[in-house]
Structure 1
């Protein structure tokens, strides 16, 4: 009996340690979900500005070229069902709706599945726009489908009816896969980099990266003045990518090591964001590391936030109003006041009398003072650890006046208001890790691991058996390769000049909205004006590479349509040329050669 008890105790201890190392806190998963959803909405908003240019047949990549030349077997895209702007706008709206559902935690698993599918569809619609951040986002969303993302800070949590308390952490095949997927981004990137002497032992990679004008910011160009610092950054980045993720798995003082690792990598990506214009990549990477926040940190924050003011708060609502019940539950969850009691006004005669007198819910503070209508909302916000900053705005007299009238309108039309919350149902939440689901995620993870090994050493892992299951990677878009600035940063630097001749003989620069043609090297501000966003920046980089031969004719047609759609008569575009001013990056101290080449000519007739 003693031996069995000791064995059982040892198994419990082992599982607890595995859960600590490879499990994830449900609150960290919720924060991760919110960050991913915000990035999805931001990315959709940015891309929607070029909806016609990038995702319709009237843009730079019609579907005929996409399906015949750029797609690999197994690729698919909902966006490719039509080349019309209206259809694309509708798909963008649906994707935005799914990202919004993911943000608030409504039908979270369904929203995660739909968001993953729509992101894969969007990326497949125009492969010429894809950058490293897009690959990371797809990989993260894939594992999100198997995780309990809606257990905290969500509509699902607000309307949870289960009497069982939720666990703090969850250990499953999906938590293991997400954890190691994030590590793979760094380990395989470091493996690629180690093959190039520019990273090790020369230590010149950061110099080349910041010399690539397509990406460099003002701050990045400023750093070029400090060669020893650039060498330090190069070597420290390489070693951090190799060793840094390992500190997540230190079996002793795990919380301390995890917090130090999280802060270190967040600092690394803030540095990337300050010195390089690489789209959402730095922010996405920061959100990746927030998923590792340990349970002990959340518990400590919770204790600090549990002040007498919050502990003494009570909220009373009309028990006969289903709409009211849902609203107070939602407010408690999203204002991060989880321990506040929600009570039925009918159970307290004096509270009930006030509710009828003021036609309002009743909020009682820690000093037994009562608050009503919109003023009660302002008071609750003043106690929220996240939305406290809104209190001065909510209590500003004009806002208070409008808010009170709005509250009174809703209170007088509860049945109508209830129609808006009708889809929100009280349901129990269960956080489970079924064995079949764990087996599926582990098999997919093993497949992903082999794919990463294959991307790094194709001559070793290029086997017939692996080739026969390539379709899995392309359907799921788990075909990943983390060669980010590896094996070395790009050196094919330069800029485009596109002089166009109008019908009246005038020559204009099509990249600068018809201004005078200039072959001078553009400044950082000028590049930002030309590229607009990371998608255009990536497109122009690809235009100068092997894929550019396929893209040029269609980009040329797009330029003609775009200009002539805005101009008439003698101001219409007759023909144009595309020139690339090649400025290949050379080692420090050498003269940088600059040469001009004409890469494309086209008539608009």
Structure 2
């Protein structure tokens, strides 16, 4: 009889094949490893941005988040019905409620910075951030979107592993971690840059060397350093190509590399984003972009950095005993230990295993979401394919794409008093209908600019003009407070100026956004 064993296909790989496979696995894993110190720095960075965001928004809390402001709950419910019921901030239009929620968000941001109950605190911070964003989407930009995405991704990585209260309580740390969650964390910024590079390629300016020049000719958006770069056209072209190369080559620069080379590229990107921060008024976006680069700072970077930290500082780091009541393990950990001592070892083991499996599954889903919906936004950039959704828009990254705008605008509000005279609704006197010396100063914050753009779009014919009407009603109230005479009517103008790309200014154009009786 024929030996059946001789007829079976050989399934065992040769030692050489196994070695090659293990080598590939090791190489792939090393590309998605993140130093836990980088995760700790990311946690501190995100917490600091959240705190800065709360402080920055607090200056306009009444204007944008209460019924006494320009965007009351009635307007919110009419303009964004898809968000109704999703915002804690929309439960009340009272100022004190918003102040309380802002205070709570600030407290949790501080807790995230110090790493106390990190995952729970990050989850609550994310909920509060989503609630705040849902309350007034009109003041948001891509930086807000990237912030909430990064906070979500950080939530499923061990950002409390080092430099945290949690780490002191735990007493042990891992030097590096690698998982689907860390892969998603590293892939996300590369997706942002790659998608933006593709969208820019569909325009006419970036890949011809003129994108930065045109972008910095926009006087509303250009600030500080950007105001001086226009005098050096050759430098602007160099910066344009550096920017395009960083965007288009991000996959190779950041994901293919490792070790010191990866850290050097990450520092190069951070330098570029610092330049963006000091040149263009795009709010939190540069800060969040800087935060996305922190996980790419590899172990050699942190080891080198550690050599420059004086020992007198490291010797003063607190121990677990110095935490007092905070030194106790988390409630869930104490519950597991209690179950073990009572003989439920198997139950606790299953719970821990399922918890790790859940994090892995979430990491896989997040990675797939990033890749899939980013691809959708590239293929269906203008939404003509009918596949645009709020969920897919979370992966839309079109800053200055496909081309930077060749014009800029600001707004002016004119009030007609009961005696028939017209004045500047906010400042009195005649409304200035001429180009200012620095148009970026026409907006108190970048959020005011975003909101007035929403007012402009709302006031266009054939659209739901609730936002424009609410803003006009608010202007009426402000004008009544500003002037002794009663205000009969307000008119909002949009003043449009073509960007002086060639150094010459064209005539200013004035457009009426809305007229409304008070």
How high is the TM-score relative to the length of structure 1? 0.72
Cα 1:14–1:483 shift into 2, 3 Å: same
Partner of 1:582: 496
Partner of 1:599: 513
Aligned-pair CA distance for 1:152? 0.9
Partner of 1:544: 456
* CA–CA separation in structure 2 for the residues paired with 1:516 and 1:280: 35
* CA–CA separation in structure 2 for the residues paired with 1:88 and 1:460: 35
Partner of 2:363: 441
Do structure 1's residue 489 and structure 2's residue 440 form an aligned pair? no
- Contact between 1:245 and 1:261, CA under 8 Å: does it hold in 2? no
SS at match of 2:490: strand
- Contact between 1:214 and 1:493, CA under 8 Å: does it hold in 2? yes
- Contact between 1:150 and 1:156, CA under 8 Å: does it hold in 2? yes
Do structure 1's residue 533 and structure 2's residue 451 form an aligned pair? no
Summarize deviations over 1:384-426 as a string: whole Å, max 9, x none. Answer: xxxxxxxxxxxxxxxxxxxxxxxxxxxxxxxxxxxxx535524
- Contact between 2:498 and 2:505, CA under 8 Å: does it hold in 1? no
* CA–CA separation in structure 2 for the residues paired with 1:71 and 1:483: 25
Partner of 1:292: 296
* CA–CA separation in structure 2 for the residues paired with 1:461 and 1:552: 25
Cα 1:147–1:516 shift into 2, 3 Å: same
Unmatched 5+ stretches in structure 2: 1-12, 337-351
Partner of 2:184: 177
* CA–CA separation in structure 1 for the residues paired with 2:224 and 2:305: 38
The one of 184, 189, 200 aligned to 1:193: 200
The one of 312, 328, 332 aligned to 1:425: 328
Partner of 2:231: 225
- Contact between 2:36 and 2:161, CA under 8 Å: does it hold in 1? yes
Alignment RMSD (CA, Å):
3.3
Aligned-pair CA distance for 1:7? 7.2
* CA–CA separation in structure 2 for the residues paired with 1:488 and 1:75: 37
Partner of 2:221: 215
Aligned-pair CA distance for 1:481? 0.6
Aligned-pair CA distance for 1:258? 1.0
SS at match of 1:597: strand
* CA–CA separation in structure 1 for the residues paired with 2:189 and 2:459: 29
The one of 488, 498, 509 aligned to 2:424: 509
SS at match of 2:291: helix
Unmatched 5+ stretches in structure 1: 316-323, 331-420
Deviates more, 1:56-65 or 1:167-176: 56-65
SS at match of 2:401: coil
- Contact between 1:582 and 1:595, CA under 8 Å: does it hold in 2? yes
Aligned-pair CA distance for 1:245? 4.0
SS at match of 1:214: coil
Cα 1:551–1:435 shift into 2, 3 Å: same
Deviates more, 1:478-487 or 1:590-599: 590-599
Do structure 1's residue 48 and structure 2's residue 58 form an aligned pair? yes
* CA–CA separation in structure 1 for the residues paired with 2:316 and 2:210: 61
Partner of 1:204: 210
Cα 1:463–1:424 shift into 2, 3 Å: farther
* CA–CA separation in structure 1 for the residues paired with 2:378 and 2:69: 35
SS at match of 2:207: coil
The one of 447, 450, 472 aligned to 1:556: 472
Aligned-pair CA distance for 1:508? 3.2
* CA–CA separation in structure 1 for the residues paired with 2:459 and 2:356: 45
Cα 1:75–1:547 shift into 2, 3 Å: farther
Summarize deviations over 1:350-393 as a string: whole Å, max 9, x none. Answer: xxxxxxxxxxxxxxxxxxxxxxxxxxxxxxxxxxxxxxxxxxxx
Do structure 1's residue 280 and structure 2's residue 287 form an aligned pair? no
Deviates more, 1:214-223 or 1:115-124: 214-223
* CA–CA separation in structure 2 for the residues paired with 1:260 and 1:310: 26
Partner of 2:344: none
Partner of 1:321: none
Partner of 1:344: none
Cα 1:547–1:262 shift into 2, 3 Å: farther
Cα 1:450–1:327 shift into 2, 3 Å: same
Cα 1:573–1:425 shift into 2, 3 Å: farther
* CA–CA separation in structure 2 for the residues paired with 1:274 and 1:108: 31
How high is the TM-score relative to the length of structure 2? 0.84
Deviates more, 1:426-435 or 1:88-97: 426-435
Cα 1:460–1:35 shift into 2, 3 Å: closer
* CA–CA separation in structure 1 for the residues paired with 2:504 and 2:382: 38
The structure with the largest alpha-carbon Rg is 1
Partner of 2:341: none
